[in-house]
Chains A and B, each alone.
Chain A
Amino acid sequence: MTEFVERPADAGVRHSLEYWNQEFQRIHSPILRYSFSVVSVAIALGVGLAFQYYQFRDVQLPVFTVAIALTTWYAGAVPAALAVLLASASFDYFFTQPLYSFYVYTNELPYYLIFVVWAAIVASFSAVRRRTEANLRRARDDLEVEVEERRHREHEIRKLNQQLGKRAAELEVINTELEAFSYSVSHDLRAPLRHIVGYSELLQRQASSLLDEKSQRFMRTILEAAKKMGNLIDDLLAFSRIGRAETNKAEVDLAHLVQEVVAEIARDTKQRDIVWQIGPLPVCQGDYSMLRLVVVNLVSNAVKFTSMRKPAEIEIGSVSHNKEEVEVFVRDNGAGFDMQYENKLFGVFQRLHLPEEFEGTGIGLATVQRIIHRHGGKVRGEGAVDQGATFYFSLPKAQDGIERIVNAP
């Protein structure tokens, strides 16, 4: 028998079922079952004989049916059949004419027939009941297994959840450490730099008349190096802030954004000969100030790396590959790059050109990549040495993005 596990919701039902099984369940051993059958008929016979002794008539048959019913109930169908057989025989032998003989008169045959049919009906009811009970038990066992499995899964989920919570807490600690790190970079690393620059300036001021040309150049180099390091630290901090800052996503009209950025950069590069070409740009989902930083970085790069071109050509446009995503590109006819170094394009402090050729800290494209990744998009670059470069970034479109055409400023 299945072990029952106490559970508050259905404990009462289960308990009574168990009680039923223990108290009223048919006897399991076949010998006992048949013995039960024989004994109950024998008792019925005894009772019947006692009634006969005291001159009670026609009560023997009901007594035998009670014995049959009890046998069917407790011992099952086959012992019940045996009981019917024994009861019929006993009745015939002890209580019907001729007495003490198994001979049956023809006119009493229907009487026996009805008795046997009745007993058969009782037995079949018992069999049906048993089958139903067996089915119920099987269903209950299946349920039990399922409940067990579910409990197991629940346990698993709880365990995973706990692990996840622990991991989140760990990450939180790491993040706090990182924040403390960037804070101390921000504060402690800049202070000595400021002192190097400050005292060098003071020295230059105080002793410039005493220093020869070479020493003056050394001083200038110290100052420039320190200032460059200051810029590197500032850029690195800005870069790490992008990773931590929260994004406020809204609909961003890229056409408007690009127009604004280009107008600003064009104002600063009036002396240059730049041909701007701006194609249709969509409205997309994103953080305005972060996306602006992306466009500023890409457009300034295009301006920087076309410094030797007359005219420089810079094209900004978009390609729509599917309904969800749009790819924006910035193309120039500048210095370009060798595609074999493509994997280094978006690395922090990675530069593909000498500092004398083009200035910069090498953090611009890393910033671009970080922002686009945070928006769920991708970045890539195409180019060839001296044949210009094209940088692409993809963004999810706004739900009902309207494409608009913007004219070059």
Chain B
Amino acid sequence: MTTLARILLVEDDPNDVELTLTALADHNLANEVVVARDGQQALDYLYRRREFATRSTDNPAVMLLDLKLPKVSGLEVLTQIKSDERLKMIPIVVLTSSHEEKDMMRSYALGVNAYVVKPVDFHEFVNAVKELGVFWAVINEPPPGSVKK
């Protein structure tokens, strides 16, 4: 694993953050993960506002987005990003507990690149996160302007 792109993880639940980071760490994918705890923070990161004002201008190579978030919901974040010329190319994977077809339909309609329902089984969860990390941060060629070490 020579190249590793930055992952933006948007997740409000600290347990889920820990489990996801653990899953990524299990496969040496955790060193370039930025965690945003709500939709507002995620947008702050992308627009380089507040605590992220000084970060480099590169976009993350992939964004793992939960749908149920405090303040600004995942679908609102999605709408915002996809309507912004500079951000719409960022690959977005919805990583959610929701099996609801309605959520899935809306997410795809807004242009997500993948929709993953978090499996209850931990092994399956680790596997899913690993596959996502490997595919989006290693195998996939991110759009120009993304962070790539």
Q: Is B99's CB under 8 angstroms from A194's CB?
A: no
Contact mask B102-124 → A, CB, 8 Å, 1/0?
A: 00000000000000001111110
Main secondary structure of the interface of A (DSSP, over half): helix
Q: Is A191's CB under 8 angstroms from B97's CB?
A: yes
Most chain A Cβ neighbours within 10 Å, of B15, B16, B96: B15
Chain B residues within an 8 Å CB radius of A241: 101
Chain B residues within an 8 Å CB radius of A226: 120
Q: Is B125's CB under 8 angstroms from A198's CB?
A: yes
> Given contacts A194-B120, A197-B122, A201-B122, is CB(A237)–CB(B99) below 8 Å?
yes
Q: Is B125's CB under 8 angstroms from A234's CB?
A: no
Q: Is B100 an interface residue (CB 8 A)?
A: yes
Assembled-state Cα–Cα distance A237/B19 (Å): 25
Most chain B Cβ neighbours within 10 Å, of A188, A190, A198, A202: A198
Assembled-state Cα–Cα distance A200/B68 (Å): 24
Q: Is A186's CB under 8 angstroms from B99's CB?
A: yes
Most chain A Cβ neighbours within 10 Å, of B22, B96, B97: B97
Chain A residues numbered 161-216 whose CB sits less than 8 Å from any CB in chain B? 183, 186-188, 190-191, 193-195, 197-202
Q: Is B97's CB under 8 angstroms from A197's CB?
A: no
Q: Is A227 an interface residue (CB 8 A)?
A: yes
Q: Is A381 an interface residue (CB 8 A)?
A: no
- Interface size counted on chain B using CB atoms at 8 A: 20
29 contacts between A and B (CB under 8 A): A183-B98, A183-B100, A186-B100, A187-B97, A188-B68, A190-B97, A190-B120, A191-B16, A191-B97, A193-B120, A194-B16, A194-B19, A194-B118, A194-B122, A195-B15, A195-B16, A195-B19, A197-B120, A198-B15, A198-B19, A198-B125, A199-B15, A199-B19, A201-B123, A202-B22, A226-B120, A227-B120, A227-B121, A230-B120
A residues touching B (Cβ–Cβ < 8 Å)? 183, 186-188, 190-191, 193-195, 197-202, 226-227, 230, 234, 237, 241
Beyond A186-B100, A194-B122, 10 additional contacts (C-beta under 8 Å) are A186-B97, A187-B98, A190-B120, A191-B97, A194-B119, A197-B121, A198-B125, A200-B122, A230-B120, A234-B99
B residues touching A (Cβ–Cβ < 8 Å)? 13, 15-16, 19, 22, 67-68, 96-101, 118-123, 125
